[in-house]
Each structure stands twice: as structure tokens, then as C-alpha cells.
Amino acid sequence: MTRPGGRSARVRDAVHDAVVELLAAGEIDAAIPKIAERAGVNPTSIYRRWGSREALLLDAAVTRLRSTSPIPDTGSLRGDLLGWAEGVEHAMRDRHGQILLRALVATMGPAEQPVEYLRARGEDLQAALDRAEGRGEPVPTVDEVLDFVLAPLYLRVLFRRPIGPGTAAGLVDRLFTALRAGPAPRAGRGG
């Protein structure tokens, strides 16, 4: 498979592939030399680019999870969010998607740094909300979208509850029902 972006992007993809394959094979603790061997790159390249195994795992999980569920531009906010949520649902039914989400959560470790993952997804969502606002549609906040749609999907995966058919669509419906029900249902702002 040819990938765009030149050598640097190819190395990144190969290393991400190696991480996903090792995680899927149950090698949760694979160290950088082993990842490098599988990716066919020099361990030094990995240390130089990512600095640590944890940073690499986070980057791989964030990049792959984000790419599996882009937010489409369908002309309506409901269409955009439905397309995105069904992409998340689809990714979370896939074993690799589940493994990546679990790795993402587990890897964040005991350090207190904020997490870039939800920030990146938040920016994607904000762009869709801005488009909807420009069309004059009522819009929720990013936090509301995360609470109503993403949190229930992720909780099902993390606690190994099955994601039934139509789950994503039902969650998006709830969000719009809440939007219509009056003053935006605000939970204490999370940041």
C-alpha cells in the first residue's frame, strides 16, 4: 500500500502498524527495540522521534482512533454527528479499535499531564459545530457531544459491554432531544 507524505510519514505509519500488531498479539509491554524490529526501522529513530514507549503508544492510539472516525460535512449537524458517531461505533466493534482505546487509557499512566486526544477530537467537533452555527442551526457544546455520545460508547468498550446495533444513532438522538428540550443541559464544565 502506498502512503502519502514521504519517508517520515512512511516511518510513522510503519511504526504505528508495528505497535498495533504487537498490542493485538497481546504484547502489551513490547519495548522499543522490539517495536523497531517489527517496523523495520532503527530503534534510534523511534527514541529520537517519540522519546519514550509511552509517548509512542499514545501517538499511535490517538492517530489511529482519530482516523477511523472523521467527521463528515453533510450539510446538517445531525448528519455530521451521525456519520461521526457511527464511525466511532464501527471502530469500537473492531478488536483493534478496542485494543487501541484500552491502550490509550492504560498508557496515560499516573502522570498528571492533560491528554491531547480529546483535545484533537474536540477541535474536529468544534469545526462541525461552527459550520452548523453558521447555517443557523441550534448547536450543543463540544462537552455536551462528548458526554452524550462519546462517553457512553467508550464506557461500553472499556467495561466490555456489547454495543448493540443503533447505539450511536440512539445517542445522537438523545443529544438532539436534549437540545430541543430547552435550556442547554449543562453539566459542570470539564475544561
Q: What single DSSP character describes residue 166?
A: T
Stretch of 53-61, 66-74, 105-113, 132-140 contacting a copy of itself, by CB under 8 A: 105-113
Cell numbers describing residue 7: 519517508
Considering the complex, state which of residue 11 and residue 57 has its C-beta at the smaller distance from a copy of itself.
57
**Candidate residues 54, 66, 72, 105; the one interacting with a copy of itself per rule CB under 8 A:** 105
Torsion angle of C-alpha atoms 180, 184, 187, 189, degrees rounded to 10: 140
Q: What is the 3-state secondary structure (H, E, C) of 109-141?
A: CCCCCCCHHHHHHHHHHHHHHHHHHHCCCCCCC
b/e string for 113-126 if b means 16 or more Cβ within 10 A?
Answer: eeeebbeebbeebe
| Residue ranges in 125-154 that form contacts with a copy of itself under rule CB under 8 A | 146-147, 150-152, 154
State the nearest-atom distance from the C-beta of 130 to a copy of itself, in Å: 21
State the nearest-atom distance from the C-beta of 105 to a copy of itself, in Å: 5
Cell numbers describing residue 96: 483493534
Residue 55 binding a copy of itself, by CB under 8 A? no
Residue 118 binding a copy of itself, by CB under 8 A? yes
Residue 185 binding a copy of itself, by CB under 8 A? yes
Cell numbers describing residue 41: 526501522
Residue 94 binding a copy of itself, by CB under 8 A? no
Residue 47 binding a copy of itself, by CB under 8 A? no
Q: How far is CA 173 from CA 33, 130, 145, 148, 169, in A?
A: 47, 20, 11, 9, 6
Considering the complex, state which of residue 11 and residue 179 has its C-beta at the smaller distance from a copy of itself.
179
Cell numbers describing residue 24: 493485538
Residue 186 binding a copy of itself, by CB under 8 A? yes
Closest CA to 23 of 108, 102, 117: 102
Considering the complex, state which of residue 49 and residue 156 has its C-beta at the smaller distance from a copy of itself.
156
Residue 173 binding a copy of itself, by CB under 8 A? yes
Cα 30 to chain centroid, rounded: 22
Q: Using CB under 8 A, list all residues that contact a copy of itself.
A: 26, 28, 99, 102, 105-106, 108, 110, 112-115, 117-118, 146-147, 150-152, 154-156, 158-171, 173-174, 177-178, 180-182, 185-191
